[in-house]
Amino acid sequence: MTDTTLSQTTPSAQASHWLAAFERALAARDIDAALALFDDECYWRDLVAFTWNLKTQEGRDAIRTMLQARLADVAPSQWQLEGEATEAGGVVEAWFTFETRVARGRGLLRLKQGRAWTLLTTMTELKGFEEKKGERRIAGTEHRAQAGGRQSWLERKQAREASLGYEEQPYVVIIGGGQGGIGLASRLRRLDVPTIVIEKNARAGDSWRNRYKSLCLHDPVWYDHLPYMPFPDDWPVFAPKDKVGDWLEMYTKVMELNYWSSTVAKKARFDEATQTWEVQVEREGQPVTLRPKQLVFALGVSGYANVPKVPGAETFEGVQHHSSKHPGGEAYKGKRCVVLGSNNSAHDICADLWEHGADVTMIQRSSTHIAPSASLMELALGGLYSEQALKNGITTDKADLIFASVPYKIMHTFHIPVYEEMKKRDADLYARLEKAGFLLDFGEDGSGLFMKYLRRGSGYYIDVGASELVADGRIKLKSGVNIERVNPKSVTLTDGTELPADLLVYATGYGSMNNWLADLVSPEVADAVGKCWGLGSATTKDPGPWEGELRNMWKPTAQPQMWFHGGNLHQSRHYSQYLALQLKARQEGLDTPVFGREAPHHRR
């Protein structure tokens, strides 16, 4: 199709033409013909369907290598346009479906002048192992009399729960019962994968309930649904922590998860001979040994709380704790409070203390990106996650796929204009913050909050009110300094300033999530697996080499049969689908050759 012909055809015709040509080339195993359909700058992001991995091929050479390795085995077919394609700014965007030898998939294609710029392919279900939903849903009962009576639903449920982990071993054990762990477990249950979720707290949702009183979700409700069960349409835009806690507890019950609360994972060991994990746990004070085939760490996006070792801390006569242990500001009216840190938790805690009548000082060690919540919703998220997006036909699942379709290599270019506009829209707030001495940044390349998050960089606050308090001095500020030492009733800063203190809060973040692995399995396994999170972007906290995907997340690791699951609510929801399908395929004994495994040389 020539450029002239392209200009005379509809976006749907262009997309259909491309898909048909691509299918012919792949069916003929003509890789050169397939590559000719890609632009000079091109990216193919595959989520499990072709690679049994999460892998982005950057450029034609990388695409050629992947197709040479995987095309014959995958045997893709049935490439069909889904709905109508659209065009904006010279880029055609089209949804499509396809099949492989073992699965069905869905994808999103972007064309420039008739050639592929970005291609996303995702696995949606395994053939023969589909979820029992819709027309496949179970009956739930047998409409006939049974001699001797029948077990009720509750009796069957209680029998399963009493057996799993004792008489019957789970196929998967998930360590971590927060939103990530239960979302993954819900997908595995619907795939008939016996799974136990291990959670140290007494109830699902306690990890939220036990935080400081004023905590709310900083992301809007449309971005934060759990798998299968969206929040009600009158749910607050920013959900309070206790409401989230109640929802998570309800979710575990309604989704019928095997949720072991008040259970602590003590040690895990992989038995090479049997290819089985031995996981020692303490359940309500009693030792239990679980022997799953697959072990998933779902402990958020970070490891242990990072508490700096400050000289003199042991002499402090007041209260000191990490932000994760902060109960709220009620007890500190009239007290002098120092909060070390300037990211989300630091701002929230400072605001909470100020609201309760404390004299509070924030210590900002390095520059911080401030993203006002209203601007973030309107400029960054509103097009995908909002009431208007829903009216435009962009469901949560579709929004997740659009988000995932942008390769990490070029994602920052999508974000920079958003934050340039934010600078203009919120110029007055930024000017007042800088006048107060606050050190601002928008990321090393101006791409803002989400890229910082992906690149292991903290340094951001989604402003839900505390920035005004900092800007007008109600929250006092010391910037560009650190705590040099702690005294019995004060802290001394690196510029020589001494601040009286009754409370010292370390809002200093968390370590790498594979620190959990070092303790629960071994330091050797943690070193072999390497870093979790980060892209290798060569920014300050994310050294190279470039990976193209988040390290070790939702995909096979260097340790056989061990996985990491986490991220924010959006990521936990979306990527749990691909991790669940990988686990199901292995349970059923399907061949799952992993293409493009992550290099094992990264250390913690």
DSSP 8-state code for residue 330: G
Whether 149 is covered by a domain: the verdict is no
Residue 459: how many other CB atoms lie within 10 Å:
21
Structure tokens at 181: 């762990």
Does 189 lie in the same domain as 115? Answer: no
- The whole-angstrom separation of Cα 383 and Cα 391 is 11
Residue 217: how many other CB atoms lie within 10 Å:
21
DSSP 3-state of 393: coil
Q: What is the pLDDT of residues 188-230, one digit of tens each?
A: 999 999 999 999 999 999 888 888 777 888 889 999 999 999 9
Percent of the chain with pLDDT over 90: 83
**pLDDT at residue 560 greater than cutoff 90:** yes
Q: What is the pLDDT of residues 500-525, one digit of tens each?
A: 999 999 999 887 777 888 999 999 99
Whether 560 is covered by a domain: the verdict is yes
Q: What is the pLDDT of residues 245-303, one digit of tens each?
A: 999 999 999 999 999 999 999 999 999 999 999 999 999 999 999 999 999 999 876 66
Does 296 lie in the same domain as 186? Answer: yes
- So what's the pLDDT on residue 6? 59
- So what's the pLDDT on residue 315? 97
604: burial class by Cβ within 10 Å (0-12, 13-18, 19+)?
Answer: middle
Structure tokens at 254: 């309604």
Mean pLDDT for the stretch of residues 29-52: 98
Q: Using an 8 Å Cβ cutoff, are 501 and 317 in contact?
A: no
DSSP 3-state of 94: strand
Whether 358 is covered by a domain: the verdict is yes
- So what's the pLDDT on residue 288? 97
DSSP string for residues in 197-216: EE-SSSSTTHHHHTS-TT-B
Structure tokens at 451: 């890229």
Does 41 lie in the same domain as 174? Answer: no
Q: Using an 8 Å Cβ cutoff, are 535 and 547 in contact?
A: yes
**pLDDT at residue 144 greater than cutoff 80:** no
**pLDDT at residue 375 greater than cutoff 70:** yes
**pLDDT at residue 602 greater than cutoff 70:** no
Percent of the chain with pLDDT over 70: 96
Q: Count how many domains the chain has.
A: 3
Residues 283, 179, 108: CA angle, nearest 5 degrees = 140
Does 345 lie in the same domain as 409? Answer: yes
Name the residue range of residue 278's domain: 158-303+513-587
- So what's the pLDDT on residue 509? 86
CA terminus-to-terminus distance, the chain? 50
- So what's the pLDDT on residue 211? 83
Does 449 lie in the same domain as 339? Answer: yes
Whether 140 is covered by a domain: the verdict is no
Last residue of one domain, picked from the residues 476, 506, 536: 506
Whether 63 is covered by a domain: the verdict is yes
- The whole-angstrom separation of Cα 299 and Cα 565 is 7
DSSP 3-state of 104: strand
- Of the candidate ranges 1-5, 30-34, 570-574, the one whose mean pLDDT is the lowest: 1-5
Structure tokens at 399: 């929004």
Whether 228 is covered by a domain: the verdict is yes
Whether 421 is covered by a domain: the verdict is yes
Does 345 lie in the same domain as 275? Answer: no
Does 328 lie in the same domain as 452? Answer: yes
**pLDDT at residue 596 greater than cutoff 70:** yes
- Of the candidate ranges 129-138, 290-299, 356-365, 453-462, the one whose mean pLDDT is the lowest: 453-462
Beta strands 503-506 and 498-500, pairing class: unpaired
- The whole-angstrom separation of Cα 448 and Cα 94 is 28
Instruction: Look at residues 228, 230, 475 and name the one whose alpha carbon lies nearest to residue 346.
Output: 475
- The whole-angstrom separation of Cα 400 and Cα 380 is 14
Q: Using an 8 Å Cβ cutoff, are 226 and 206 in contact?
A: no
Last residue of one domain, picked from the residues 86, 104, 126: 126
Whether 569 is covered by a domain: the verdict is yes
**pLDDT at residue 488 greater than cutoff 70:** yes
Does 33 lie in the same domain as 86? Answer: yes
Does 111 lie in the same domain as 241? Answer: no
Last residue of one domain, picked from the residues 506, 530, 553: 506
Instruction: Give CA 51 to chain center in angstroms.
Output: 21
- So what's the pLDDT on residue 195? 98
574: burial class by Cβ within 10 Å (0-12, 13-18, 19+)?
Answer: buried
Q: What is the CATH number of the domain that holds 44?
A: 3.10.450.50
Does 361 lie in the same domain as 244? Answer: no
Q: What is the pLDDT of residues 429-461, one digit of tens each?
A: 999 999 999 999 999 899 999 999 898 766 899
- The whole-angstrom separation of Cα 467 and Cα 343 is 11
Does 203 lie in the same domain as 164? Answer: yes
Q: What is the CATH number of the domain that holds 583?
A: 3.50.50.60
- So what's the pLDDT on residue 302? 63
DSSP 8-state code for residue 291: -
Query: Average per-residue pLDDT in the chain?
Result: 93
Beta strands 286-290 and 276-283, pairing class: antiparallel
- So what's the pLDDT on residue 215? 83
Positions of E strands within 471-568: 476-479, 483-486, 490-493, 498-500, 503-506, 562-564
- So what's the pLDDT on residue 412? 95
Residues 376, 380, 386: CA angle, nearest 5 degrees = 85
Does 571 lie in the same domain as 494? Answer: no
**Residue predicted with more confidence, 361 or 453:** 361
